[in-house]
Amino acid sequence: MSESNGSEGRRFPAPQQLAASANVGPDVYARAEADRLAFWAEAARRLTWTREWDEVLDWSNPPFAKWFVGGKLNVAYNCVDRHVEDGHGEQVAYHWEGEPGDTRTITYAQLKDDVCRAANALVELGVQAGDRVAIYMPMIPETIVAMLACARIGAVHMVVFGGFSADALASRLDDAGAVLVVTADGGYRRGAPSALKPAVDDAVGRSPGVRNVVVVRRTEQDVEWTEGRDLWWHDVVDRQPAEHEPESFDAEHPLYIMYTSGTTAKPKGILHTSGGYLTQVAYTHWATFDLKPDDDVYWTAADVGWVTGHSYIVYGPLANRATSVMYEGTPETPHRGRWFELIEKYRVSILYTAPTVIRTFMKWGEDIPAGFDLTSLRLLGSVGEPINPEAWLWYHQNIGGGRCPIVDTWWQTETGAHMITPLPGVTSGKPGSAQTPFPGISVKVVDDEGNELGDDSSGLLVLTAPWPSMLRTIWGDDDRYVDTYWSRFGKEVYFAGDGAKKDADGDIWLLGRVDDVMNVSGHRISTTEVESSLVGHPTVAEAAVVGASDPTTGQGIVAFVILRGNAEDSGDELVKALKAHVAKDIGPIAKPRQIMVVQELPKTRSGKIMRRLLRDIAENRELGDVTTLTDSSVMNLIKDKLPASS
Ligand code: ATP
Ligand code: MG
């Protein structure tokens, strides 16, 4: 199959100046190749350990890995205290901006005091190392302070998206066995305060293990109060001393549980530990983004409640002493230029976000970014889904001014950190491809039997060696851990669940979920390729494609498209044109059986399209698990569009 949209063959070499001063150069691959464990040990030495490890990797009982065995460190100390001790206390850690426009500037010294106070408060409330603490918060600095306070005392945090329902929160509190919940009265979203406390009251009412609820005052909404259980953050935290002696924990001490986003199935509680996780998160953040702590203003525009926020808003940037931007609200509030306004205001130099947002900006039109000064940007990143070549080019041109490399980073909640990505000073960019395994990471594309495939072929993505920030298990369910990830090709091969292609240059293209791959008259067709072809048409901003059972072809391709702001829905004519476009672009076999123009697509809170729900609709089934959906009314709007019998 072709790389669609005429992007084939286009290369975007790293800008010379960036390449000349990049944190990592081309030699990094050979170094990692020569001695993988020595390479990761060197990366680990960028952190401060109170006891050096005895062994880099213990893989004697696969798939249960131990990294930096015997090593000891404190994650919060590495993220905060050591920078203050090194004389950088006055450096800004976060430029925080609330949705209504209120701001807070938090230096490393202030962050250290805040984290110590919160750690002392948790200790006072009886939280011990190994206890689970749920964090159900808006995007405010206290969210990060709470995470770091847990890390500091060795408690395991479990951040749950502030947008999730009481049911979703309750099932996670129960699964993790949380003893305490940190929340807020509410947060600002789409121009209005939205409440959080009622969902907590509901969920905690069903979770007898939760002893206390600590509530940050953010919106000043009225809240119900349970005496003896509920405490205001400002009452319990503010009066604590700003000193707290950090204890060292084992490299394999649990750091957090994070539930996957649920695009393919019911969310899984992924467990990450301390030393290996922080090593790879910090190193990738430094190498992939070429982070220069003294010069850059770094912005991961995502929610802290998904793994991208954990690794690249909190742990990676702080471990590297970055100055970051953190924004509470949505991109369209109070106007569609809000993000660009923030880039201009804080002179953001590195922006990391998801394709869904870029396609939304495409839909709104390039006039909006054109109205702001975005010249501070020098590097752009993408994460969460394959970025369609057309969206890549739009991002490059309209946000990056044609000068910024784009790092398209493939990774998962389970991998903890970047696994496949271009390196900005090394790789010539190729729109739509994640390209190259990160140094020290072993990636293969294999067929159904696990045989490695050569260039110019597609199959399943697997990881053939353990990596420092890998998940250690699914919380409370070792069997499911083994079954889900390490059984298809044996105990030493991680099955990622994604399809992938290697092109003639050996560059890797992600093809979407294996569960989503379509089979039309015996041909395997990737959802991503058909979607990218549709997005390559000048009228289309966003597309989701699924295979629905079909009496003659096995599966028929059903496409849902959102039009660009300036495009007109000419009905049958448009549908015909789009079908012809895909047929010409990829081949007649990939021509959708049905195309529907819709206003919205079902997405997870992290912005991923939930194809399994669209497939349920296209096949007239009951909808599966919808707890991680942003907005369930979207499904009704789409259902109304469907002809009754299809
Ligand atoms: P679940 O596992 O519950 O179905 P999920 O896989 O959507 O949820 P995440 O861990 O947040 O939850 O997402 C990881 C997935 O996102 C990857 O497996 C891949 O399909 C997709 N992904 C992430 N980054 C990229 C990227 N740069 N290119 C292509 N796909 C990506
Ligand atoms: Mg997944």
**pLDDT per residue as tens digits for the range 375-431:** 999 999 999 999 999 999 999 999 999 999 999 999 999 999 999 999 999 999 999
By alpha-carbon position, which residue is closest to atom 31 of ligand 1? Answer: 385
Q: How many CA atoms lie within 13 A of 383 on its CB side?
A: 28
14 Cα: distance to centroid of ligand 1 (angstroms): 26
Backbone angles phi, psi at 63, to 5 degrees: -90, 30
By alpha-carbon position, which residue is closest to atom 15 of ligand 1? Answer: 412
pLDDT band at 5 (very low <50, low <70, confident <90, very high): very low
Secondary structure of residue 125 in the 3-state scheme: coil
2 within some domain: no
Q: Are residues 228 and 362 in the same domain?
A: yes
Ligand nearest to the CA of 604: 1
Could you tell me if 346 and 325 are in contact, meaning their C-beta atoms sit under 8 angstroms apart? yes
The predicted model scores a pTM of 0.94
Q: Residue 627 annotated as binding?
A: no
Q: Tokens in use for 277?
A: 């996780």
Q: Are residues 331 and 460 in the same domain?
A: yes
- In residues, how long is the chain? 646
Q: Are residues 494 and 547 in the same domain?
A: no
pLDDT band at 628 (very low <50, low <70, confident <90, very high): confident
187 Cα: distance to centroid of ligand 1 (angstroms): 27
Q: Are residues 482 and 576 in the same domain?
A: no
Q: Which atom of ligand 1 lies at the shortest distance from residue 387's CA?
A: 28
| CATH number for the domain that contains residue 547 | 3.30.300.30
509 within some domain: no
Q: Are residues 488 and 541 in the same domain?
A: no
5 within some domain: no
For residue 605, is pLDDT > 90? no
Q: Which atom of ligand 1 lies at the shortest distance from residue 413's CA?
A: 10
pLDDT band at 30 (very low <50, low <70, confident <90, very high): very high
506 within some domain: no
Q: Are residues 144 and 206 in the same domain?
A: yes
Could you tell me which of 404, 492, 625 has the C-alpha nearest to residue 64? 492
By alpha-carbon position, which residue is closest to atom 29 of ligand 1? Answer: 386
Could you tell me if 407 and 421 are in contact, meaning their C-beta atoms sit under 8 angstroms apart? yes
By alpha-carbon position, which residue is closest to atom 26 of ligand 1? Answer: 410
Q: Are residues 560 and 452 in the same domain?
A: no
pLDDT band at 6 (very low <50, low <70, confident <90, very high): very low
- Beta-strand relationship, 269-273 and 254-259: antiparallel
CA trace torsion 136, 141, 147, 152 (10° rounding):
-150
pLDDT band at 642 (very low <50, low <70, confident <90, very high): low
ipTM rounded to 2 decimals: 0.99
Pocket lining: 131 vs ligand 1, CB cutoff 6 Å: no
Q: Residue 281 annotated as binding?
A: no
Domain count, the chain: 2
512 within some domain: no
Q: Which atom of ligand 1 lies at the shortest distance from residue 528's CA?
A: 29
Q: Residue 280 annotated as binding?
A: no
Ligand 1 pocket mutation pick from 388, 413, 438 by most atoms within 8 angstroms of CB: 413
Q: Are residues 186 and 244 in the same domain?
A: yes
Pocket lining: 510 vs ligand 1, CB cutoff 6 Å: yes
The Cα 160–Cα 615 span in angstroms is: 27
Q: Are residues 260 and 137 in the same domain?
A: yes
Calculate what percentage of the chain has a pLDDT beyond 90. 86
Q: Tokens in use for 587?
A: 């081949």
Pocket lining: 336 vs ligand 1, CB cutoff 6 Å: no
By alpha-carbon position, which residue is closest to atom 28 of ligand 1? Answer: 386
Q: Residue 447 annotated as binding?
A: no
pLDDT band at 9 (very low <50, low <70, confident <90, very high): low
- DSSP 8-state class, residue 386: P
Ligand nearest to the CA of 391: 1
By alpha-carbon position, which residue is closest to atom 18 of ligand 1? Answer: 412
Q: Which atom of ligand 1 lies at the shortest distance from residue 421's CA?
A: 27
549 within some domain: yes
268 Cα: distance to centroid of ligand 1 (angstroms): 13
Q: Residue 201 annotated as binding?
A: no
Backbone angles phi, psi at 43, to 5 degrees: -65, -40
| CATH number for the domain that contains residue 203 | 3.40.50.12780
Q: Residue 521 annotated as binding?
A: yes
Could you tell me if 617 and 638 are in contact, meaning their C-beta atoms sit under 8 angstroms apart? yes
**Region 234-238: what's the mean pLDDT?**
98
Pocket lining: 267 vs ligand 1, CB cutoff 6 Å: yes
Pocket lining: 89 vs ligand 1, CB cutoff 6 Å: no
For residue 4, is pLDDT > 60? no
Structural domain of 626: 521-640
Q: What is the pLDDT of residues 450-496, one digit of tens each?
A: 999 999 999 999 999 999 999 999 999 999 999 999 999 999 999 99
516 within some domain: no
412 Cα: distance to centroid of ligand 1 (angstroms): 5
497 Cα: distance to centroid of ligand 2 (angstroms): 7
Q: Are residues 29 and 70 in the same domain?
A: yes
Q: Are residues 529 and 496 in the same domain?
A: no
Q: Are residues 480 and 550 in the same domain?
A: no
406 within some domain: yes
Neighbours of 51 (CB within 10 A): 13
